[in-house]
Structure 1
Amino acid sequence: MEPTDLPDLPIRPLLGDIAGTLAARGSLVLVAPPGTGKTTLVPLALPGRVVVAEPRRLAARAAAARMAGLLGEPVGRTVGYSVRGDRKTSKDTRVEVVTSGLLVRRLQHDPELAGVDTVLLDECHERHLDADLLLALLLDARAGLRPDLKLLATSATLAAERLARLLGDAPVLRVEARAHPVEVVHAPPARGERVEAAVARATRQALSEVDGDVLAFLPGVAEIRRCAALLGDVDVLPLHGRLPASAQDEALRPGPRRRVVLATAVAESSLTVPGVRAVVDSGLARVPRVDHRRGLAGLATVRVSAAVADQRAGRAGREAPGRVYRCWPAHEHGTLPRYPEPEIRTADLTRLALELACWGVPDGTGLGWWDAPPPGALDAGRSVLRALGALDGRGATERGRRMADLGLHPRLARALLDGAAAVGAHTAAQVVALLDDDRANEGVELSVRHADPREVRRLAALVGGRNPGGERGTRGRRGTGGDPALVVALAHPERLARRRSPGSPVYLMAGGTAVELPPGSGLADAEWLAVAVADREPGRAHGRVRLAARADEELALTAAPALVVEEDDVRWDGDVVANRVRRLGAIPLSSKPLRDPEALRRALREGLRAEGVGLLRWDADGLRTRERMAFLHRVLGDPWPAVDDGALLEVVDLGDARRRADLQRISGEQVVRRLLPWPAAARFDELAPDRLEVPSGSRVRVDYSGPEPVLPVKVQEVFGWTETPRLAGGRVPVVLHLLSPAGRPTAVTGDLASFWRTGYPQVRAELRGRYPKHRWPEDPMTAPPARR
């Protein structure tokens, strides 16, 4: 078809330049907004065989149908498509539209892409994981095998510079759309209003204010269903990637009456929904996210970027002036991120890791990436692949390549392969089809009756009753009641879960994460679960079970024998815990007391380190001995050792102690005395005496508990004493706490001679009236001391 025969869209005058630039330079970046014809006109104008890679199946089928319609031909003749589970091509097909993931698989089997002249990578700005991987592999293939392969990358946003550099400093061609004006109206949700209610309200406003159809963007299928229920008296058509092709086609055809099309992000670009004059934008999208620490991967609802919001708004002005109703306040628009977050930064990279291993570069080095995969996430993906037997030290195994060929996430591929061997191809296919489209299930309890029959037949045909070499332990299970749970567990063995305590809705998964069943799930009486989908909302203590099947311990051991470990659990938890424990990952299965004396002593020492040597038996003598030793270490140092907890722990002899109570039989004083240095220990009582004799003849105990030694003694017992006693070989004076006859402190001094001259007269004046029966001589220096 000549360019002049094509519709008069903005890109038509540039088709010759595009083909000429590609022929001369081999690569080109085309920046053109939706509605310019970049997806449907450019492929038809390029010479040779053209493969168009679309990020979504719906977009691939719609683009092929549109191009075939321009040629006046059925799909499958000059223009065809290939998506997972559906293909319409023939020997005459020159332009083939495929999904990015399918082209990755084709490239793995034929790195030269024999017979292909040009690959058009459409909607690169969306930054889907498969599209980023495809770009990296195409660049690698072109560098080594197909230098003549032409690459044309299209984008609806202006962020094309990095893409152009990746393509070898490719030229950038920009096309301006003849867009109709679009008025922006902000219709934020009311306080506490759910997203589907806000969208339904804005949709009714649009229907009352604008002629033509309404296209509303919601984050997911569940919200579409709830919004449709709120718009019961309106012609509502859903549009999302999980719909049958016939239902998708109906949404893309003009209807006899006004329609409301409720769509996910599939309608943002690549295809036109005819008749739309108003767009209602929830401002939300559902994107893949993974929590590596908790082992939870799934979809998260996030705010859209400004670029995506602009694309959605542009849908209202494709055919005539329109209006967009944005379900967020006007002042929040400036806080939106500029562009979407690339999936490669946030998604589960297990499938990417398998594709890289099959390509021969397990760590992805040497490839040209728009954004390189994060090393931590890639390592996590490779760990999963090794556990599934898909990866070894040399790269992808034969089993891994077989899993990759299935076109499923490696976990689901493992479940299909090993599940077919264990429970039959049909049952395994039912469960895998549902796991691949968990939104099709109604409620939390997994039910295979919700699985798409066409997808079940396709998946069953892939394994068709053959024994694919499942891992040991996955065969021979009797009965079919647990078959779905077994297949779920084969996909996610680390999500096998057991109730934490009787009656509790909280389960502990083998991976160590706690998850909670929502009320009314129908699984409340299950002791074991095979959890298919779980997520965790910010601020919640536990994850939440979204989809699960009933399991039991036998099934868990059958599905995940590699997770079963026996280990000695010896630790201190307020007392010695010593058991030989059998676990399935983090889930305890059984426990027997352990009687290993050395292990018990290790736990006791752990307890002493955690709680201190106060666990030993300490009487007053023992504490004073420790204080005297600490005093000598502080003032004399070597050879007098420290007697802190750490030092005492080194010399504690636990003997036959086995539990906390046994520690109370160990004398703390004896532990301290083990540290006495010899031969210096012979002077211990001389350097740090327990008691000192005072002039009255009493032997008074010295208090070493403070920073300096203290001798508490009654004033009458030290009459005539002028020399302050000194300890530690005369280095440290004792501080005297002089007491009243009732034993109360009246004065503190380290210089007795000075006290008798200046302090005693005041003490005498204060106390002789209070204690008249006691002697209070005017001259204490000559008065005889007395005990009483």
Structure 2
Amino acid sequence: MKLPDLPVRSVLPDVVAALDARGAAVLVAPPGTGKTTLVPLALAADGGRVVVAEPRRLAARAAAARMAALLGEPVGETVGYAVRGDRKVSARTRIEVVTSGLLVRRVQGDPELPGVSTVLLDECHERHLDADLLLALLLDVRAGLREDLRLLATSATVASGRLAALLGDAPVVTATARTYPVEFSYVPPARGERVEACVARAVRTALSDGDGDVLAFLPGAAEIARTAGLLRQSGLDTVDVLPLHGRLSAAHQDDALRPRDRRRVVLATAVAESSLTVPGVRAVVDSGLARVPRVDHRRGLPGLATVRVSAAVAAQRSGRAGREAPGRAYRCWAEHEQATLPAYPEPEIRTAELARLALELACWSTPDGSGLAWWDPPGEGALAAARALLVTLGATDPAGAVTPRGRRMAELGLHPRLARALLDGASEVGARNAAEVVALLDAGGTLTDVAAELRRLRSAGDEGARRWKREADRLAKLVTGTGKPDPALVVALAHPERLARRRPGGAPVYLMAGGTAAELPPGSGLDAEWLAVAEATRDPGRVHGTIRLAAAADEALAVRAGTVSEVDEVTWDGDVVARRVRKLGAIVLSEKPLREADVRDALVAGLKSEGLGLLKWSQDATRLRERMAFLHRVLGPPWPPVDDAALLSDVDSWLDLGTARRRADLAAINAGTALKALLPWPEAANLDDLAPDRLEVPSGSHIRVDYRGDQPVLAVKLQETFGWTETPVLAGVPVVLHLLSPAGRPAAITADLASFWTSGYPAVRADLRGRYPKHPWPEDPAAAVPTRHTRRRG
């Protein structure tokens, strides 16, 4: 066999030598250099069976087809492939291309990988979750079971250093590719222009600027369909517009990759970034967007989010235009935005939902992933949440050990939620009925009503319906069981926390068992008191979520599929509410009052929510609290704080609730008596000396001290202070004297009486003696006799 003259060909001897010497190596080679095709062929010729792990099904099939074509054979002879639901191999197959996730399952089934001499991990730099997990498992296998297993990791970037270290300081072999210059143009969207309209505009420009085919990158299948429609509407009769994404049938995918006599516009997702060769491309149009794994909160399943591409991805995409000749790249963003792109894409293990990863780790007997060599370890929080879910589904025990049920769930190759729905649903409603619903939940629907969507899919002939039927057929073969259709039960088995009951009132608002409220959209076709919700979104600015996919249910089904609890609840809702409640999560099924219950916590909750004003606060109680607060402020411990926050934080230390059971009982509790429990002993014996309730003034009156401010305040008529030359001091703090006129209005404020008599009093005397002639206004107040009366009585 004569290998094509591609850049990797020159380094093949170095790759083989590195593997022979060290058992592991890293090959760094740009896309299109032949690392996915030529290297496996060379390794197979060197002896042994080679397994190539690809991150995507489309890439796996395309790589196998390309290698088989180089050998002049059909796929399934020397070169075969295996992806979910499709496998073409034979007894003569020596190179098998598989998806990373499928190879994880094989390693779990037989870690020794009998008959396999080399595993090639392609496109490691893309950092797919399954690929990172597969690398960690294979390193563990090589360390403990198969020292002879050869590992070759390929990368298109400088991530080779970390890869080489993970592989035990493996040699790094680098292949360089001849590249042609690429001319860049930036075509940002106009104000309000959708991404597909901008891409269609850039595609038309690319077709008119030069020859060759155009490869356009869009984030997903929906955007591809809309862009294709716009291009066809613009009258491109001489150009073939071809979609390329993972949801197409194998025949349609192959058709998009096949050269034609007419010019092509290939509208692709990220599947065309690497691992695939699209011949004839001279221009690339990049939307600048990609779909990446994130937690899909609508379905509680792994989902996709649309994000800006990284600078590395943008460079890789544009490089497709310069593989065969000088090319052109059209970027659908402003040129100044290029500098704001993140350098590299985020590894999926940092952002994706980890339930499937957690189940695989449990099957590997390392639930927390410790002991494995990770490129990046899974996040502790995300992994803990995933492990908790596995316990709920019965896939693992509380310690994290996988159960027989969990192993069966892992074998199905589905998300654990869907695996649970398929297994348990098959025994309840029948294998076919369960498989159809699970296939719908995995793909998502176009109608809100699950039953209506199933009817549509059964009768439709579009590609989406055909794909659903193929997946339902595959799943039905994995389980057994007979029964009557019940879509709601299968949905509830996957998402028991989304069983929902309509709230009272006219609006179609439902409370889900998990505690979230969601609303049916208009025209949903659903009108039931109970729903089993499969998808719900939370839209910004809306009070409730929106139900996107659900099935009509009833209370009997909810009780059957969910977890019902009966608890005694004693809460505060303006008063003590004591009841025995039967609940499905947050949904109350029934309740009855409790006559005997411990209500203390509810009473304390009432105090914390409504405040200490619920207690009986007499004037004396309030005064005591103010005096204690003053002493705490100026002296500190052992005088305790008595502000609301302090008192409510430790109610047990001072408040005896006794036989109180309701709001009215709180109002009968004397707060002053309760506060005395906080007085420090023996210091409390000095309370009246340090902070007396009243002070005796020279006239003989006993006047109340105001402790509410920073300093104690004594409001007293000026005539009652004659002869008082020293300002009173309490707990080391001078008292602020509010000296009042005979009418009780403030005439002067001072904390220094001696100074006031000499400098302030003359002005006050001059101002007030004419208005109050019956009262004494001596020239020498320090020597005068204090009085509470007028001059006439005196």
Residue 387 of structure 2 is aligned to residue 382 of structure 1: yes
- Structure-1 separation of matches of 2:14 and 2:753: 109
- From 367, 370, 384, the equivalent of 1:365 is 370
Letter of the structure 1 residue corresponding to residue 420 of structure 2: R
Say whether the 8 Å CA contact 1:295–1:513 is kept in structure 2: no
- Structure-2 separation of matches of 1:651 and 1:260: 80
Q: CA deviation at 1:114?
A: 1.3
User: 1:680 and 1:182, CA in 2 relative to 1: closer, same or farther beyond 3 A?
Assistant: closer
318-327 or 491-500, larger mean C-alpha shift: 491-500
Alignment partner, residue 462 of structure 2? none
- From 555, 558, 561, the equivalent of 1:556 is 558
Residue 295 of structure 2 is aligned to residue 290 of structure 1: yes
- Structure-1 separation of matches of 2:694 and 2:251: 101
Say whether the 8 Å CA contact 1:492–1:532 is kept in structure 2: yes
User: 1:382 and 1:246, CA in 2 relative to 1: closer, same or farther beyond 3 A?
Assistant: same
Structure 1 stretches lacking a partner, 5+ long: 467-475
Alignment partner, residue 68 of structure 2? 68
Alignment partner, residue 342 of structure 1? 347
Correspondences of 1:50-449 after superposition (within 5 Å): 50-233=50-233, 234=236, 235-290=240-295, 297-392=302-397, 393=399, 395-438=401-444, 441-446=445-450, 447-448=453-454, 449=456
User: 1:92 and 1:639, CA in 2 relative to 1: closer, same or farther beyond 3 A?
Assistant: closer
- Structure-1 separation of matches of 2:297 and 2:713: 60
Alignment partner, residue 470 of structure 2? 454
Q: CA deviation at 1:387?
A: 1.5
Correspondences of 1:704-715 after superposition (within 5 Å): 704-715=707-718
User: 1:268 and 1:782, CA in 2 relative to 1: closer, same or farther beyond 3 A?
Assistant: closer
Q: CA deviation at 1:560?
A: 2.1
User: 1:187 and 1:516, CA in 2 relative to 1: closer, same or farther beyond 3 A?
Assistant: farther
Residue 35 of structure 2 is aligned to residue 38 of structure 1: yes
Tell me the alpha carbon deviations over residues 678-704 of structure 1, each in whole angstroms, 9 at most, x when there is no partner.
999898778866556666665544444
Say whether the 8 Å CA contact 1:529–1:548 is kept in structure 2: yes
- Structure-2 separation of matches of 1:717 and 1:705: 23
TM-score (norm 1): 0.87
User: 1:445 and 1:195, CA in 2 relative to 1: closer, same or farther beyond 3 A?
Assistant: farther
Structure 2 stretches lacking a partner, 5+ long: 458-464
Say whether the 8 Å CA contact 1:698–1:787 is kept in structure 2: no
SS of aligned partner of 1:184: strand
SS of aligned partner of 1:598: coil
SS of aligned partner of 1:117: strand
Alignment partner, residue 26 of structure 2? 29
User: 1:417 and 1:273, CA in 2 relative to 1: closer, same or farther beyond 3 A?
Assistant: same
- Structure-1 separation of matches of 2:121 and 2:689: 92
Q: CA deviation at 1:429?
A: 0.7
Letter of the structure 1 residue corresponding to residue 391 of structure 2: R
SS of aligned partner of 2:478: helix
User: 1:534 and 1:210, CA in 2 relative to 1: closer, same or farther beyond 3 A?
Assistant: farther
- Structure-2 separation of matches of 1:529 and 1:180: 59
Letter of the structure 1 residue corresponding to residue 524 of structure 2: G
213-222 or 656-665, larger mean C-alpha shift: 656-665
Say whether the 8 Å CA contact 1:292–1:380 is kept in structure 2: no
Tell me the alpha carbon deviations over residues 601-628 of structure 1, each in whole angstroms, 9 at most, x when there is no partner.
3222233345543322223344334445
Letter of the structure 1 residue corresponding to residue 498 of structure 2: R
- Structure-2 separation of matches of 1:286 and 1:700: 78
- Structure-2 separation of matches of 1:308 and 1:731: 73
630-639 or 452-461, larger mean C-alpha shift: 630-639
Say whether the 8 Å CA contact 2:40–2:50 is kept in structure 1: yes
Say whether the 8 Å CA contact 1:526–1:550 is kept in structure 2: yes
- From 531, 534, 556, the equivalent of 2:533 is 531
User: 1:506 and 1:282, CA in 2 relative to 1: closer, same or farther beyond 3 A?
Assistant: farther
Alignment partner, residue 615 of structure 1? 614
Say whether the 8 Å CA contact 2:513–2:584 is kept in structure 1: yes
Say whether the 8 Å CA contact 2:449–2:526 is kept in structure 1: no
Residue 511 of structure 2 is aligned to residue 494 of structure 1: no
Say whether the 8 Å CA contact 2:739–2:749 is kept in structure 1: yes
Correspondences of 1:675-686 after superposition (within 5 Å): none
- Structure-2 separation of matches of 1:344 and 1:242: 23
Say whether the 8 Å CA contact 2:531–2:552 is kept in structure 1: yes
- Structure-2 separation of matches of 1:115 and 1:92: 13
Q: CA deviation at 1:544?
A: 5.3
- Structure-2 separation of matches of 1:558 and 1:215: 52
- Structure-2 separation of matches of 1:226 and 1:293: 24
SS of aligned partner of 1:178: coil
- Structure-1 separation of matches of 2:232 and 2:298: 43
SS of aligned partner of 1:215: strand
- Structure-1 separation of matches of 2:323 and 2:631: 91
Q: CA deviation at 1:121?
A: 1.6
- Structure-2 separation of matches of 1:608 and 1:397: 47
SS of aligned partner of 1:170: coil
- Structure-1 separation of matches of 2:410 and 2:207: 47
Tell me the alpha carbon deviations over residues 227-271 of structure 1, each in whole angstroms, 9 at most, x when there is no partner.
222223443222111111111121122234333222111111222
- Structure-2 separation of matches of 1:21 and 1:685: 91
Letter of the structure 2 residue corresponding to residue 603 of structure 1: A
SS of aligned partner of 2:329: strand
User: 1:420 and 1:741, CA in 2 relative to 1: closer, same or farther beyond 3 A?
Assistant: same
- Structure-1 separation of matches of 2:636 and 2:262: 98
- Structure-1 separation of matches of 2:567 and 2:740: 63
Alignment partner, residue 765 of structure 1? 766
Q: CA deviation at 1:505?
A: 6.4
SS of aligned partner of 2:105: helix
SS of aligned partner of 1:555: helix
Identity of matched residues, %: 72
SS of aligned partner of 1:354: helix
User: 1:299 and 1:578, CA in 2 relative to 1: closer, same or farther beyond 3 A?
Assistant: farther
TM-score (norm 2): 0.87
User: 1:764 and 1:131, CA in 2 relative to 1: closer, same or farther beyond 3 A?
Assistant: closer
User: 1:651 and 1:10, CA in 2 relative to 1: closer, same or farther beyond 3 A?
Assistant: closer
SS of aligned partner of 2:177: coil
User: 1:376 and 1:661, CA in 2 relative to 1: closer, same or farther beyond 3 A?
Assistant: same
Alignment partner, residue 460 of structure 2? none
- Structure-2 separation of matches of 1:640 and 1:36: 80
Say whether the 8 Å CA contact 2:298–2:537 is kept in structure 1: no
Tell me the alpha carbon deviations over residues 493-543 of structure 1, each in whole angstroms, 9 at most, x when there is no partner.
2333445664556654433455565x4461674554433344557888766
Alignment partner, residue 12 of structure 1? 9
User: 1:316 and 1:642, CA in 2 relative to 1: closer, same or farther beyond 3 A?
Assistant: closer
User: 1:187 and 1:596, CA in 2 relative to 1: closer, same or farther beyond 3 A?
Assistant: farther
- Structure-2 separation of matches of 1:210 and 1:139: 48
Letter of the structure 2 residue corresponding to residue 329 of structure 1: A
SS of aligned partner of 2:384: helix
SS of aligned partner of 2:305: strand
Tell me the alpha carbon deviations over residues 542-562 of structure 1, each in whole angstroms, 9 at most, x when there is no partner.
66554433344333322222x
User: 1:220 and 1:596, CA in 2 relative to 1: closer, same or farther beyond 3 A?
Assistant: farther
Letter of the structure 2 residue corresponding to residue 769 of structure 1: G
SS of aligned partner of 1:462: coil
Say whether the 8 Å CA contact 2:301–2:415 is kept in structure 1: no
Letter of the structure 2 residue corresponding to residue 606 of structure 1: A
Correspondences of 1:680-699 after superposition (within 5 Å): 690=693
User: 1:776 and 1:583, CA in 2 relative to 1: closer, same or farther beyond 3 A?
Assistant: same
Tell me the alpha carbon deviations over residues 330-382 of structure 1, each in whole angstroms, 9 at most, x when there is no partner.
22222222222111111112111222222222222222222222222222222
Tell me the alpha carbon deviations over residues 683-726 of structure 1, each in whole angstroms, 9 at most, x when there is no partner.
8778866556666665544444445554433344555x447696
Letter of the structure 1 residue corresponding to residue 208 of structure 2: S
Q: CA deviation at 1:421?
A: 0.8
Alignment partner, residue 471 of structure 1? none
RMSD of equivalent CA atoms? 3.5
SS of aligned partner of 2:765: helix
User: 1:13 and 1:630, CA in 2 relative to 1: closer, same or farther beyond 3 A?
Assistant: closer
SS of aligned partner of 1:51: strand
User: 1:697 and 1:154, CA in 2 relative to 1: closer, same or farther beyond 3 A?
Assistant: closer
